[in-house]
Amino acid sequence: MKKMYLLFVVLLGLFVFADNAFAAGEIASIGKGIGAGLAIVGAGIGLGYIGSGMAESMARQPEMANDLRNASIIIAALLEGVALFALLICFLI
């Protein structure tokens, strides 16, 4: 928690006290990078939940393993598509 607070203070200081270090285009690039990073982190968390749910379900009912695997692969592919679309939008804005 201390590291997060320190990082926030450092970034806030950079934005407040930087005079000409950040031009308008540079701040937009920073925003694009933050947006892309959040999209990818969100997709990674979602894929982790899919994997953990699939493993737990397969442990409870081993006879449904093939159906669960197919469904989770489809859901993971859709999630990756949404993440790539978000990444594209971040870089186009």
pLDDT tens per residue across span 31-46:
777 878 888 888 888 8
For residue 65, is it within any domain?
A: yes
Q: Does residue 19 form part of some domain?
A: no
Q: Is residue 75 part of a domain?
A: yes
Owning domain of residue 46: 26-92
How many structural domains is the chain composed of? 1
DSSP for 25-54 reads HHHHHHHHHHHHHHHHHHHHHHHHHHHHHH
Chain segment 20-75, per-residue pLDDT in tens? 555 556 676 777 778 788 888 888 888 889 889 999 998 999 898 899 889 988 98
Is the residue at 15 inside a domain? no
Give a yes or no: residue 51 inside a domain: yes
Q: What is the pLDDT of residue 18?
A: 56
Residue 79, domain CATH: 1.20.20.10
Full-model pTM: 0.62
